[in-house]
Every structure is written in structure tokens, then in C-alpha cells.
């Protein structure tokens, strides 16, 4: 055999594997909470993600999607081991996760070190699109600062002067409160007291007594999932709801209104989504979600759906060839995402630049009362890439 046929055979073998790689399923690792206070949030994110893929015929740019799943239990102490199950054991191409900021910070570290593509579909930890940012790390949701800051702008705009804040003592709680304080104090208000308790505790009584003693004009709260249901009910049962208005980060009443019942009605909150946005895009999304899952979507479902849209935009730019990572990531970073929340783009730190709505809890919906802050971008402090 001369060298030429040998060479041609080698080329043929190589291009064959390259072609196979482009048509083989793309492995998506879903690291979300399936148990604990955030379990329902993880479920909605997964449903949203799968819905978008299903709407594309089960494939993104010709690539079937294969899902691998890990329950992260919203437990930061298990986060590194859990994310390594996806990166090292399952060899996934992309990781989508998670809800809890502390868990997501460990995921971002592992993703950066292994250069695995990561799309965060909820956790707001400011550092993920700040000091910990990297070209392979994207967020389809928000930074903790964003809804907090907007709530501060709303509360000061209503003329409230004295606020008390209450939250869980972890990254999402403290950063959301920091955003609120910045917006509120810029508008002339003053935060008199920050109250908190460990995540995911729900023993609120002593703190509610403290709120009554402080007699603020307004209370700002960040809780989510099961903890938010209990807080809203306890706030009402303690007799505080009728005396001291709550202005909350929208997670307090998102995906929770049915369980909160009358206690949540009328609560004002700020978030990048409202259920009743009357746009063709949101109406089509809600209809498709309700038909598929026999339940209504919430903000978490939107964030999961948009994570899939972002991945889809990247894959489309490289015609499904995931190996072209730089081009894929560049396309994701430049994408204009046609979200049910309204179109958004990404900041240079790869966090959504988005309108933050003022919402009022009405029945089982968080209804928009207009835009609280238009095209709000997280400052992305400390991001070097």
C-alpha cells in the first residue's frame, strides 16, 4: 500500500467521527433541587427547559438532547461532589443549574476549572456574573441585586422612609437586601434593621415580634419556595399585613400563590416576569406549558425555557457542532432572547439586561402594574472577562 491511500483512509475515518459527533445526542446535565424547600422551583425549571426543546421537535440544531440528572438538595456542602458527577462521571457537554446561590457558586467554580459550559437558570449569586465570571458561564435568570434594587426604588418612590428587611442568612438573602438598601437609600429612605435566620429555617415568630416593635413604614422580604409560603401566612396571622405593607422580591409570591391563599393577596413585588404580560410570546408560552403539563408556568419555568433558548442560539450558530465552543459561546453572548418576559440581551458579564416589573398578587397570578425599572443591568462588579 502506498502512503496516499493510507492517508485518505485516515482522513475518511476522522471526518466520519466528526460527523458522528455532530449528530450524536448532546448531553445536558440538569443539576436542580428535587427535594427540600426549593423542590417545586427545580421542577418548573426542568419543565421549562424541556418544553422549549420539545417545541423544536426534540432537537436543537439537529442534536438530540440527552438529559442526566442530579438532585442537589439545595445543599452547598454537597455541591462540588454533585456537580462532578455530571462533569467527570457522566461527561456532560452542558450543565444547567441551579436554584440555590451557594450551590451555584460551587458549580461555577467547577465549570470554570473544567471549562464546562454552564447556564444558570435561577441562582442569583452576584459573583457568578461578577468576580467569578468566565466566558463559559451564562445566566438566564437575574442577579440577586436586580429585583432587590428595583424593590428599593419602588418603596422609596411610595414615600416610605423607614424599612426593616427580613431574609435567610445566605448569599441570595444578603445580596438581595443589599440591592434593596441601595435603591431605597438612594431615594431618601433608611433601612433601620436587617433581620435574618439560617436557610432554610421557618421559625419566624421572634422576628415578626421584632418587626412589630420597630414599626417601620415598610418591610422588605426575600424568601422563596416552601419558606415563602410559610412566611407570608405567618406575616398575616401575626396581624402585620394590615398594618405594615410588604414590598418584596417577586420570589416571595411566585409559584406559591395557591398555597398562600388570602394571605398573599395584594402583596407588591418586583421581578423580571409577571404572569399576565399580554404579548403574543407570553400567551403562546403559557398556552403551550399549560397544555403540556396541565399546570400554569411561573418565573422559574420561564428561566428554564430561556436557558434552552440560549443554548439553542449557540448551537444554531455552529450548526450543532458543539466542538466549536468559542463560536458557540460568542453567539450565546450576543443573542437577543425572545423570552416570555420580553426580549432581553446579555450584559458583558453574561447576565440578562431586563425590565423589572412591579407586580401585585391577584388570585393565582402576579399581575403587572407596570415597569419598575427599565432595562436594568447588574453592575457586574469585579468581572474581568
Which residues of this chain interact with ligand PHB, rule CB under 6 A?
Answer: 38, 99-101, 122-125, 172, 224, 251
Tell me how far, at minimum, the Cβ of 106 lies from ligand PHB, in Å: 12
Q: Which is nearer to ligand PHB, 197 or 313 (CB)?
A: 197
Q: Which is nearer to ligand PHB, 93 or 126 (CB)?
A: 126
Q: Are 286 and 340 in contact (CB under 8 A)?
A: yes
Q: Which is nearer to ligand PHB, 189 or 225 (CB)?
A: 225
Q: Which is nearer to ligand PHB, 63 or 139 (CB)?
A: 139
Q: Are 148 and 175 in contact (CB under 8 A)?
A: yes
Q: Are 158 and 86 in contact (CB under 8 A)?
A: no
The full DSSP string for 234-265 is: HHHHTT-TTTS-EEEEGGGGSS-HHHHGGGGT
Q: Are 118 and 107 in contact (CB under 8 A)?
A: yes
Residue 28, Cβ density class (10 Å: 0-12 exposed, 13-18 middle, ≥19 buried): buried
The rounded radius of gyration (Å) of the Cα atoms in the chain is 22
Q: Which is nearer to ligand PHB, 61 or 366 (CB)?
A: 366
Q: Which is nearer to ligand PHB, 41 or 92 (CB)?
A: 41
Tell me how far, at minimum, the Cβ of 122 lies from ligand PHB, in Å: 6
Q: Which is nearer to ligand PHB, 125 or 376 (CB)?
A: 125
Tell me how far, at minimum, the Cβ of 300 lies from ligand PHB, in Å: 7
Number of residue whose CB is nearest ligand PHB? 224
Q: Where are the alpha helices (DSSP H) in 86-191?
A: 101-114, 145-157, 171-186
Task: Return d(Cα 99, Cα 123) in angstroms, integer.
Answer: 5
CA dihedral 377, 191, 154, 341 (to 10 degrees): 40
Tell me how far, at minimum, the Cβ of 112 lies from ligand PHB, in Å: 18
Residues 6+ apart with CB under 8 A from 121: 45, 48, 49, 96, 97, 98, 139, 140, 141, 300, 303, 304, 306, 307
Tell me how far, at minimum, the Cβ of 128 lies from ligand PHB, in Å: 9
Tell me how far, at minimum, the Cβ of 64 lies from ligand PHB, in Å: 31
Tell me how far, at minimum, the Cβ of 243 lies from ligand PHB, in Å: 26
Amino acid at each position: 500500500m502506498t502512503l496516499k491511500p493510507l492517508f485518505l483512509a485516515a482522513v475518511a475515518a476522522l471526518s466520519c467521527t466528526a460527523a458522528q459527533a455532530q449528530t450524536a445526542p448532546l448531553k445536558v446535565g440538569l443539576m436542580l433541587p428535587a427535594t427540600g424547600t426549593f423542590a417545586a422551583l427545580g421542577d418548573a425549571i426542568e419543565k421549562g427547559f424541556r418544553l422549549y426543546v420539545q417545541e423544536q421537535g426534540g432537537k436543537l440544531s439537529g442534536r438530540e438532547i440527552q438529559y442526566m440528572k442530579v438532585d442537589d438538595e439545595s445543599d452547598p456542602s454537597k455541591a462540588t461532589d454533585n456537580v462532578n458527577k455530571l462533569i467527570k462521571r457522566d461527561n456532560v457537554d452542558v450543565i444547567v443549574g441551579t436554584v440555590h446561590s451557594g450551590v451555584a457558586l460551587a458549580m461555577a467554580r467547577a465549570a470554570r476549572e473544567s471549562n464546562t459550559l454552564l447556564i444558570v437558570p435561577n441562582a442569583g449569586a452576584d459573583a457568578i456574573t461578577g468576580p467569578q465570571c468566565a466566558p463559559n458561564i451564562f445566566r438566564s435568570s437575574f442577579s440577586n441585586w436586580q429585583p432587590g434594587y428595583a424593590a428599593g426604588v419602588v418603596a422609596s418612590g411610595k414615600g416610605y422612609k423607614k424599612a426593616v428587611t427580613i431574609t435567610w442568612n445566605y448569599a441570595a438573602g444578603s445580596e438581595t437586601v443589599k440591592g434593596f438598601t441601595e435603591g431605597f437609600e438612594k431615594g431618601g429612605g433608611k433601612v433601620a434593621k436587617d433581620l435574618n435566620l439560617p436557610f432554610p429555617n421557618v421559625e419566624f415568630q421572634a422576628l415578626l415580634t421584632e418587626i412589630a416593635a420597630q414599626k417601620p413604614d415598610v418591610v422588605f422580604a426575600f424568601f422563596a419556595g416552601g419558606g415563602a409560603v410559610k412566611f407570608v401566612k405567618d406575616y398575616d396571622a401575626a396581624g402585620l399585613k394590615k398594618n405594615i405593607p410588604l414590598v418584596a422580591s417577586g420570589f416571595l409570591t411566585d409559584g406559591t400563590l395557591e398555597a398562600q391563599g388570602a394571605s398573599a393577596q395584594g402583596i407588591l413585588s418586583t421581578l423580571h416576569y409577571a404572569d399576565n404580560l399580554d404579548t403574543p410570546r407570553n400567551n403562546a408560552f403559557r398556552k403551550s406549558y399549560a397544555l403540556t403539563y396541565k399546570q400554569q408556568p411561573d418565573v422559574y419555568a420561564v428561566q428554564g425555557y430561556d436557558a434552552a433558548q440560549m443554548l439553542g442560539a449557540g448551537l444554531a450558530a455552529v450548526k450543532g457542532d458543539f466542538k466549536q465552543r468559542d463560536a458557540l459561546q460568542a453567539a450565546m453572548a450576543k443573542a437577543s432572547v425572545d423570552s416570555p418576559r420580553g426580549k432581553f440581551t446579555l450584559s458583558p458579564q453574561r447576565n440578562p439586561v431586563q425590565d423589572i416589573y412591579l407586580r401585585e398578587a391577584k388570585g393565582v397570578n402576579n399581575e403587572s402594574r407596570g415597569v419598575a425599572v427599565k432595562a436594568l443591568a447588574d453592575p457586574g462588579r469585579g468581572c474581568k472577562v
